[in-house]
Structure formats: structure tokens, C-alpha cells
């Protein structure tokens, strides 16, 4: 009786194992991921599911019972047999992400991208007997990502071209503004200046033929006003475009401007300019002059301080420009999302950018420092930085 019970128990256990095995096989067969079991060192297929057949484009009869080399000969030259051999020998799994695979499907060679894993299958003694393949065809995702990346590259290129065009337009606008300032300065100095000089000459001549003291007094007053107008016109012309910048260069132009700034505004400006500064391209000299001019004007108007510092020096690779004050700083400059940068600072930054330099503004309760660094290897050559 006991033996019969043992037999029935064994039969029941075998049935349960077979049931579980069939359920597992059905689960593998219906799984959306491609699965295959390979047996032995020659990697013979003993099971593949429907997803694997669809991925490889093969019939079940063309795969099961055959080795990988026999069923999928196109994989041999792609190194997959070497990977299988490595996993079989070491027992260590191999993982691949979006691996490029060439398969022959319906007589046509196609390129796929597959996420897959090779797992070693061991017996109870721990000996590797086969390999389990688990893979997912991610070709559509990879191609979609490639298309997206290509579109991003195209859009990035378009944006870069738009930025270059904008910078080129900005550069041309600044050149036009500088040229217009130069023209106005010359016009004021030559045309208007000559008219004022002629007026002064006429007034002096009138003084010589007028004997009425009251009229002579009026003429003297007019002469004084004409002299004031002449000085103001010379000052405006100098501010618009100092002729000494073209004639003598950056250092003399800055010394002349800063001296005039002291006289007009009362601002005390300490100047340190490298004695060996030399000459640079017209674009660079104009940019440095305008940065110093705009910075000192800002200090005079907004910093609430009577003192400023200008330092300009060069080395083998760059020209450094620094304008500093010890005033109240730029309001809200360091507050998150509240950094203020006015039109003047934007113009300075753009001038520096056009010459491939670096522009920096530091501001706090102890004052503001504007720094511009220009590379000399390119800046010493006359050139147009951007082309439309």
C-alpha cells in the first residue's frame, strides 16, 4: 500500500512539474521580448518564442535544432559567436544596449538595434550547459532618437546661423554708429566751428567800429557766448569721436578724454596705462575707447562717488581693460533673477564679443568693476569678426 502511495505521489509531483513547465513554456512563447535557449558549446537552438522568430525573420523549422552558425550565418562575422563562447566558458552574463545587428530577413539584409542579454544556464553541479537569450528590438526607438537628434542638430545649426547673422548685424550697426559719430564730429569741428570762428571775427570787427559803450558791451558779451559755444562744440565733437584716436592711438586718446572728463565732471580718475601699449586695429581701439567712455559716464551719473580707476595693460596674448569705482554698486545686481544690465553694458558686452573677447561685470556695495579682455593674436589684425 505504501509503495502505491509513493508511486501516486511521484506521479502527482511529475504532473505538477510538467504543468509548471508547460506554463513557463507558454509564458516564454507568448512573451513580447525575444527569447531563445541555446544548448551546448556549439549553441544549438532548443527553444525560441514567436517574438524571436519575428525579430530574426525565420521560420521555427529553420532555427530549432540548428546551431547559431547554421541558422543565422550572418551573425558569425559580427562577433556574436565569440560573445556566446565567452559567456559559455566564464558563466558571466553579457549585456548590450542598442547593439547594431545585421540580419537577413525575407532575403534582404536589414540593420536592427537590439537590447539583449546572454545568461549562462547551469545544471545542479554548477556546470554551464547552455545560454538563455533575452532581447528587445529597439530599432524604431533608436531611429526615432536619431531623427530627433538630427533635427536638434539642424535647429541648433539654424540658431547658430541666426546668432551669427544677428552679431554681424550688430557689428555693422556699431560700425555705422561709430562712422556717423565720426562724421558728425568732423562736421561740427569743420563746418560749425568755422561758422563760429567767422562770427567771432565779425564781432571783433564790429568792436573796432562801435563807439557806443552800451553796444560795445553787448558785443563783448556776444563774443564771450561765441567762445563758450566754440568750446562746447569742440567738447561734443571730441566726445562723439576724438580725432586723436585715429591720429595718435588709444593711449593718447584716453589720456585726453579722461583729462576732459575730470574738468567737465569733477570726477577724479586714476589712470594706469601700459607705456608699451602700442597700436591696434581700428575696431579694437574704438571698442576699448567706448568701453572706458561708457563706464566713466555711468560712474559719473549713477555710482555716487567722486573717484574712479582705469587700468589698461597687455601681455603676449591679450589686452586687459579694467574700470573700477567704489560707489554704491548696481542696484539688485546680485539678487536672483533680478540682475540688471542696461543698454550701455549690453553695448560693451557686444563690442567685446565681436572681437572674441571676454566681458565681466562685478558689482556690490563696495563698488563696480568692469573688465574686458581681448585676445591679441586676432585683435591686432584688422578683420571683420563675423560674416553674414
User: Which of the four pLDDT bands, split at 50, 70 and 90, describes residue 10?
Assistant: low
pLDDT tens-place string over residues 122-160: 988 889 999 999 999 999 999 999 999 999 999 999 998
With cell 565720426, the residue in question is 182
How far is 73 from 58, CA to CA, in rounded Å? 12
Residue 326 scores a pLDDT above 80: yes
Angstrom CA distances, 141 to 138, 151, 354, stand at 5, 15, 42
Say which CATH class 243-388 falls into. Answer: alpha beta
CB-based contact 115:123 (threshold 8 Å)? no
**Strands 307-314, 268-273: pairing kind:** parallel
Please tell me whether the overall predicted TM-score, pTM, comes out greater than 0.85 for this model.
no
Helix (H, G, I), strand (E, B) or coil at 212: coil
User: Which of the four pLDDT bands, split at 50, 70 and 90, describes residue 385?
Assistant: very low
Residues with Cβ < 8 Å from 215, sequence gap 6 or more?
A: none
Shortest CA distance to 222 belongs to which of 204, 237, 240, 210?
204
Mean pLDDT for the chain?
Answer: 83
Predicted confidence at residue 388, as pLDDT, reads 26
Conformation bin of residue 249: beta by default, left when phi > 0, alpha when psi is -120 to 50? left
How far is 303 from 299, CA to CA, in rounded Å? 5
Percentage of the chain surpassing pLDDT 70? Answer: 84
Segments making up each domain of the chain, as ranges = 12-137, 150-241, 243-388
Instruction: Count the neighbouring beta carbons within 10 Å of the beta carbon of residue 152.
Output: 10
**Greater model confidence, 378 or 293:** 293
CB-based contact 294:287 (threshold 8 Å)? no
Q: Cα–chain-centroid distance for residue 147?
A: 22
Helix H segments across the chain? 2-30, 50-56, 68-71, 80-90, 139-187, 193-209, 213-240, 243-247, 250-265, 282-298, 343-354, 376-379
Q: Cα–chain-centroid distance for residue 274?
A: 33
Predicted confidence at residue 301, as pLDDT, reads 85
162-174 burial string, b = 16+ CB within 10 Å, else e? eeeeebbebbeeb
| Bridge partners (DSSP) listed for residue 362 | 369
Conformation bin of residue 278: beta by default, left when phi > 0, alpha when psi is -120 to 50? left
Residue 362 burial (10 A CB sphere; 0-12, 13-18, 19+): middle
User: Which of the four pLDDT bands, split at 50, 70 and 90, describes residue 386?
Assistant: very low
With cell 571683420, the residue in question is 384
Angstrom CA distances, 200 to 184, 193, 226, 228, stand at 22, 11, 6, 11
Residues with Cβ < 8 Å from 283, sequence gap 6 or more?
A: 175, 354, 355, 379, 382, 383
Residues with Cβ < 8 Å from 137, sequence gap 6 or more?
A: 34, 55, 112, 113, 114
CB-based contact 28:52 (threshold 8 Å)? no
Residue 218 burial (10 A CB sphere; 0-12, 13-18, 19+): middle
Predicted confidence at residue 214, as pLDDT, reads 78
How far is 290 from 275, CA to CA, in rounded Å? 20
Say which CATH class 12-137 falls into. Answer: alpha beta
Residue 365 scores a pLDDT above 90: no
Residue 262 scores a pLDDT above 50: yes
Amino acid at each position: 500500500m505504501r509503495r502505491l502511495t509513493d508511486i501516486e505521489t511521484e506521479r502527482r509531483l511529475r504532473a505538477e512539474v510538467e504543468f509548471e513547465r508547460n506554463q513557463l513554456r507558454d509564458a516564454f512563447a507568448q512573451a513580447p521580448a525575444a527569447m531563445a535557449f541555446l544548448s551546448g558549446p556549439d549553441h544549438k537552438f532548443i527553444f525560441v518564442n514567436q517574438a524571436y522568430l519575428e525579430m530574426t525573420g525565420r521560420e521555427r523549422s529553420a532555427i530549432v535544432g540548428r546551431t547559431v552558425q547554421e541558422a543565422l550565418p550572418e551573425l558569425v562575422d559580427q562577433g556574436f559567436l565569440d560573445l556566446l563562447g565567452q559567456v559559455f566558458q566564464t558563466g558571466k552574463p553579457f549585456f548590450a544596449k542598442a547593439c547594431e545587428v545585421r540580419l537577413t530577413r525575407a532575403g534582404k539584409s536589414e540593420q536592427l538595434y537590439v537590447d539583449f542579454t546572454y545568461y549562462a544556464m547551469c545544471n545542479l553541479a554548477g556546470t554551464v550547459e547552455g545560454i538563455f537569450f533575452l532581447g528587445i528590438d529597439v530599432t524604431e526607438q533608436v531611429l526615432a532618437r536619431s531623427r530627433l537628434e538630427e533635427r536638434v542638430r539642424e535647429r541648433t545649426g539654424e540658431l547658430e546661423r541666426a546668432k551669427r547673422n544677428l552679431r554681424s548685424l550688430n557689428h555693422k550697426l556699431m560700425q555705422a554708429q561709430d562712422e556717423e559719430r565720426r562724421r558728425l564730429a568732423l562736421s561740427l569741428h569743420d563746418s560749425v566751428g568755422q561758422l563760429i570762428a567767422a562770427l567771432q571775427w565779425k564781432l571783433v570787427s564790429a568792436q573796432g567800429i562801435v563807439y557806443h559803450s552800451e553796444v560795445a558791451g553787448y558785443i563783448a558779451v556776444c563774443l564771450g557766448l561765441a567762445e563758450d559755444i566754440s568750446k562746447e562744440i569742440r567738447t561734443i565733437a571730441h566726445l562723439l569721436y576724438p580725432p586723436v584716436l585715429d591720429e595718435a592711438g588709444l593711449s593718447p586718446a584716453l589720456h585726453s578724454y579722461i583729462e576732459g572728463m575730470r574738468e567737465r565732471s569733477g570726477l577724479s580718475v586714476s589712470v594706469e596705462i601700459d607705456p608699451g601699449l602700442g597700436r591696434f586695429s581700428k575696431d579694437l581701439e574704438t571698442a576699448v575707447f567706448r568701453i572706458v567712455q561708457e563706464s566713466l559716464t555711468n560712474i559719473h551719473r549713477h555710482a555716487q562717488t567722486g573717484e574712479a580707476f582705469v587700468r589698461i595693460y597687455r601681455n603676449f596674448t591679450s589686452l586687459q581693460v579694467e574700470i573700477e569705482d567704489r560707489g554704491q554698486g548696481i542696484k539688485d545686481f546680485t539678487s536672483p533673477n533680478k540682475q540688471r544690465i542696461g543698454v550701455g553694458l549690453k553695448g560693451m558686452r557686444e563690442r567685446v564679443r565681436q572681437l572674441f573677447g571676454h566681458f565681466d561685470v562685478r558689482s556690490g556695495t563696495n563698488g563696480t568693476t568692469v573688465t574686458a579682455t581681448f585676445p591679441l593674436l586676432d585683435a591686432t589684425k584688422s578683420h571683420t569678426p563675423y560674416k553674414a
